[in-house]
Amino acid sequence: MEIREVAPEELDYVAMLCVDPGISPKMREAMQPAMEVRKEWLKTMMRRGLQVSVALEKSEDVRNKKIRELTIHGNVPTGLIEYVPIELAPEPVKGTSSLFINCLWVLPPFWHVGLGQALLERVVEKARRYGGASVLAYERDKWFSYSFDYMPMSFFKKFGFEEVCRDRSRVLLHLNLGADEMPTLISPKTRKIKKCDRMVVDVFFSSQCPWSGWMLDKVKQKMKKFNAVVNAISTDDRKVVEKYGISRGVSINGAPVIK
């Protein structure tokens, strides 16, 4: 196994992991436009300090035929970790002197072999010169009705990350590496809306994650039968995240219901 940072021209490695073989061909096709948007977002953010490390296996060493379909230049991407200076975090967090982990993902066939640990330790080592590492993790929060916990708080706590604040299942964790400056979670805010006879649904989406684009499309489809007013609010601008305290989620009549 090799772990290395990807260059802007190597973002197909990232795409293969974000839209992996575990999802249906129909969903993969539907996700493709959002993935292209994510790649452009990554290129822009890489110029500002974002980095993505990927774990690669040689194709001939991968027994799973479906996973071997991900082969690029003889390598199969099996996991990734994406991180950025916390001032540029796409999530509703605020702080300094820290690297923020946007996401950590390992393909299920490679779970429980130390791959997630290796990716995390790589970022922790880089975070030492910043003075800390932070992550927005989740406690028993199963995304998209999957049976597993995504970005589980329990995983990061094994490596010394400590809870600094939370909003229900969303938990901001921090690993102090000398800076002694704690990050904080920006609370979701209720938006004042004009009186309306129709339900108003705000969908907050971020180009950081292709699943965010998928969520936006699903909400739009489902809301048609309610004759609701649906507002798509991009949070790619950091100021929007700070204004609403939400990166990806849904508000109904101005009140956050999914965060």
Q: Is the pLDDT of residue 184 over 80?
A: yes
pLDDT tens string 37-79: 999 999 999 999 999 999 999 998 888 888 888 889 899 999 9
φ and ψ of 88, to 5 deg: -105, 10
pLDDT-based confidence at 145, cuts 50/70/90?
A: low
pLDDT tens string 93-134: 999 999 999 999 999 889 999 999 999 999 999 999 999 999
pLDDT-based confidence at 32, cuts 50/70/90?
A: confident
DSSP string, 59-103: GGG---HHHHTT-BTTEEEEEEEEEEEGGG-SSSEE-SS-EEEEE
* Secondary structure (3-state) at 207: coil
3-state helix, strand, coil in the chain (%, to 5): 35, 30, 35
DSSP string, 28-66: HHHHHHHHHHHHHHHHHHHTTT-EEEEEEEEGGG---HH
pTM above 0.85, yes or no: yes
- Do 100 and 89 meet the contact criterion of CB atoms below 8 Å apart? yes
